[in-house]
Amino acid sequence: MEHRTSYSASNESTLSINKVLRNTYSLLAMTLTFSAVTAFISFQINLGTIGYFGFLIAGFISLFIVHKKADSAAGLFWTFVFTGCMGMALGPILSHYLALSNGTEIVMQALGGTALIFFGLSAYALTTKKDFSFLNGFLFVGMMVVVVAMIANIFLAIPAMSLAISAAVVMLMSGFILFDTSRIINGGETNYIRATVSLYLNIYNIFIHLLALLGFSDD
């Protein structure tokens, strides 16, 4: 009887985790598509620097609201507000790189690289089902170091440091993909809205910093 109860509980847990995974990847696909649409609109209307910072700030504010509303239906609405704002902020960045001599190639390579990193690492985490929670401390410290370096480089403006920061961010976000996916499949994250936003930010940051790395020689 006890064995049957334990098996039933384990089966329910597996079904619950699979449901979170399905909902997360479905919402992630929708939000990435929505961001692509808003980025295209931003690019077409030639959104300037003021607009870029405006939408970036709006994105951070809406991200805070997403986490507050994640356990309610309103969380879905705010998730699309957040990803829409981040897409709008992406427009001026794309405009900058597309203006380079081989800009289209750089953007396509960044997209391809981002997709390869995300699908490769996600597939590895899902297949092996390894627990990557041990990365938590390293990733947190790494992000603190990167943030400090970014602030310092605002004043120093050293190109080599910018390159190193972008490379570090790509590595850290790759680690976060493993960590966040592991949390879902091991039951550490049961809210698909929060899981979606975490993975979205990982993908967004990898794309932005791959653009910086690939465009460094022409920038």
Torsions phi, psi for 189 (to 5 deg): -125, 115
Instruction: Work out whether the CA dihedral 90, 69, 61, 202 comes out positive or negative.
Output: negative
111-156 residue pLDDT tens: 999 999 999 999 999 998 888 989 889 999 999 999 999 999 888 8
pLDDT score recorded for residue 49: 86
pTM of the model: 0.90
Q: Is 50 exceeded by the pLDDT of residue 211?
A: yes
The residue extents of the domains of the chain are: 2-214
Please tell me whether residue 186 adopts helix, strand or coil conformation: coil
